[in-house]
Amino acid sequence: MKFLVLITLLMSLTLKADKQTNFLIIMADDCTYNDLPVYGGENALTPNIDSLAKRSLTFNQAYVAEAMCNPCRSELYSGLYPFNNGAAWNHSSSYKGITTMPQDLRKLGYRVGIAGKTHISPKTVYPFTEVEGFDQKCVRNPTLGHKTEGIEKFMAEKEQPFCLVVALVEPHVPWVMGDRTQYPDKKIKLPGNIADTKLTRDAFSRYLAEITYMDGQVGDIMKSLERSGQKDNTLVIFTSEQGAQFPGCKWTNYNTGLHTAFIAAWPGTAPQDQRTDALIQYADVLPTFMDIAGAKDLSKYDGTSFKKVLTGESITHRKYVYGIHNNTPEGPPFPIRSISDGQFRYIMNLKHENQYIEKHLMGIKGTGELNNRYWGSWIWESTYSPDIYSLVQRYTNRPKEELYHTENDEYELKNLAENPEYYTTKKRLKEELIKWLQESGDPGVDLDTLKAQQAARKSEHIYKPK
């Protein structure tokens, strides 16, 4: 009798383990969300992402806290805002002492791996199992392809559930992958925040070719998941990271910087071919995974679980999403803080008297050559075109406050901060942003200085609980 009870118990435990949800994150690199057709993009060909969206719940309102690679990935993997995980500027390190996706999910029995780009540190804080097959360097070698054998093997092992991040390096500059002949310069429809010059069209064509190349990788990854036999038991997330390396996108707090694509396929659980306006942020992803995996206490995270949105039990999540920018080491100090309720975005430029300069647009160190040659064409053409001059001004000279009705002004070109009609909206958002900054312990202007950055890098990076 005892033997039969033991067998029954073991069978029930095995059945429970078999039902535990796997997690697969597919992340693009520097891809502006609304350049994808699923978000209204009018140029790029993305059949695999489009197909995934038809089997998914697509989030219309998903955001990163900081529109640069290292901080947004640190937010995603830690569930903490930049102030609390320590990675508050590019190429920075997270605090020693915090635990992140690998440690937290391993406690619940998961294997946690990453393939492709990492751009997080230190490894002791982010001890992912490294899986081969995808390029780790975002400055891409066009002779290198990708192989899916490694990720397929990782996903196929059924002794434990898995969490796997496949971090692609497209469409990060220098835009050398894909077939740009699919995108003739003259036929491209440029977004409203991108100046129309010959060199810009050339660059945008190469960028679109990389989006399509990235889409092919998404298709290969999904085929590997299917061959692994784990498709029906895996929550798949596709996300586009922050905006592309065009002025007004990456390294800004504008909508085309912080807004990210977020598509969730969860067979048998999440709604299919539907969209949600629920506000979410990268900090919410890890607590959501932990919630699904069975964790009871999620209080250590800044983010909160949106599991109920994924299951269709709720159509709302957050009231606000938050953004920051610290320009060091990408240029002179220009700290920015922002908040959005999904309809309106309020931005504070803490050093608005400074000119905004981002070095990747200006030149390649030691060569005197422009890194992105199209930016020089913006400056030149601004002499003759009031529209281009306005875009150059918008990018380099910012007012103290900015307010945009993003719902009606997707590229945030009309600043309403001084419009008395929107005084109440600005006041509400400003008060909520200041409250968040105070609760987060934001040091403000002092954070975005070379001295502060150097001091932080030399520090022990010991986590101090909130």
| pLDDT range class, residue 460, cuts 50, 70, 90 | very low
The domain that contains 72 carries what CATH number?
A: 3.40.720.10
pLDDT tens, residue by residue, 188-241: 999 999 999 999 999 999 999 999 999 999 999 999 999 999 999 999 999 999
DSSP letter, residue 339: E
- Both 173 and 214 in a single domain? yes
Q: What is the mean pLDDT of residues 163-189?
A: 95
pLDDT tens, residue by residue, 247-286: 999 999 999 999 999 999 999 999 999 999 999 999 999 9
Helices 69-78 + 285-293 axis angle, to 10: 20
The H or E element that residue 206 is part of is helix 198-227
Structure-block tokens of residue 424: 């109440």
Asked whether residue 14 is assigned to any structural domain, the reply reads no
Q: Is the pLDDT of residue 15 over 60?
A: no
Lowest mean pLDDT among 15-29, 48-62, 142-156, 297-311: 15-29
| pLDDT range class, residue 2, cuts 50, 70, 90 | very low
pLDDT tens, residue by residue, 89-124: 888 889 999 999 999 999 999 999 999 999 999 999
Q: Is the pLDDT of residue 413 over 70?
A: yes
Q: What is the pLDDT of residue 75?
A: 98
- Both 426 and 288 in a single domain? no
Q: What is the mean pLDDT of residues 57-82?
A: 97
- Both 63 and 204 in a single domain? yes
Asked whether residue 266 is assigned to any structural domain, the reply reads yes
The last residue of a domain, from among 274, 301, 318: 318
Tokens 């975002």, located at residue: 138
Structure-block tokens of residue 457: 């890098």
Q: Is the pLDDT of residue 439 over 70?
A: yes
- Both 299 and 428 in a single domain? no
Asked whether residue 215 is assigned to any structural domain, the reply reads yes
3-state secondary structure of 419: coil
Q: Is the pLDDT of residue 16 over 50?
A: no
- Both 401 and 422 in a single domain? yes
Asked whether residue 137 is assigned to any structural domain, the reply reads yes
Higher pLDDT, 247 or 464: 247
Q: What is the pLDDT of residue 286?
A: 98
Asked whether residue 10 is assigned to any structural domain, the reply reads no
- Both 362 and 312 in a single domain? no
Q: Is the pLDDT of residue 464 over 50?
A: no
- Both 313 and 346 in a single domain? no
The last residue of a domain, from among 270, 285, 318: 318
Lowest mean pLDDT among 3-17, 233-247, 318-332: 3-17
- Both 328 and 241 in a single domain? no
Specify the pairing of strand 162-167 against strand 345-349: unpaired
Whole-number percent of the chain with pLDDT over 70: 89
Q: What is the mean pLDDT of residues 143-154?
A: 91
Tokens 């498709």, located at residue: 231
Structure-block tokens of residue 152: 């397929």
Q: What is the pLDDT of residue 459?
A: 44
- Both 180 and 327 in a single domain? no
| pLDDT range class, residue 461, cuts 50, 70, 90 | very low
Asked whether residue 466 is assigned to any structural domain, the reply reads no
Q: How far, in Å, are 55, 85, 239, 241, 310 from residue 49 at the CA level? A: 10, 31, 10, 15, 18
pTM of the predicted structure, to 2 decimals? 0.92
Asked whether residue 402 is assigned to any structural domain, the reply reads yes
Asked whether residue 4 is assigned to any structural domain, the reply reads no
Answer for the pair 261, 39: CB distance below 8 angstroms, yes or no: yes
Answer for the pair 133, 148: CB distance below 8 angstroms, yes or no: yes
Range of the domain at 267: 19-318
Domain count for the chain, please give it.
Answer: 2
Q: What is the mean pLDDT of residues 70-89?
A: 94
Q: What is the pLDDT of residue 442?
A: 86
| pLDDT range class, residue 366, cuts 50, 70, 90 | very low
3-state secondary structure of 434: helix
- Both 278 and 334 in a single domain? no
Q: What is the pLDDT of residue 362?
A: 64
- Both 36 and 97 in a single domain? yes
Q: What is the pLDDT of residue 9?
A: 38
Going by C-alpha positions, the residue among 235, 257, 302 that lies closest to residue 78 is 302
Alpha helix positions (H), 86-148 = 101-106
Structure-block tokens of residue 276: 């949600």
The last residue of a domain, from among 284, 318, 352: 318
CA-CA distance, 5 to 11, in Å (whole number)? 10
Whole-number percent of the chain with pLDDT over 90: 79
Q: What is the pLDDT of residue 441?
A: 82
Q: Is the pLDDT of residue 6 over 70?
A: no
Lowest mean pLDDT among 141-145, 174-178, 207-211: 141-145
- Both 259 and 329 in a single domain? no
Q: Is the pLDDT of residue 363 over 60?
A: no
Q: Determine how many CB atoms are found less than 10 A away from the CB of residue 92.
A: 23
Going by C-alpha positions, the residue among 173, 237, 167 that lies closest to residue 27 is 167
Computed over every residue of the chain, the mean pLDDT equals 90
133-136 LR contacts (CB < 8 Å, sep 24+): 134/166, 134/167, 134/168, 134/169, 134/217, 135/169, 136/169
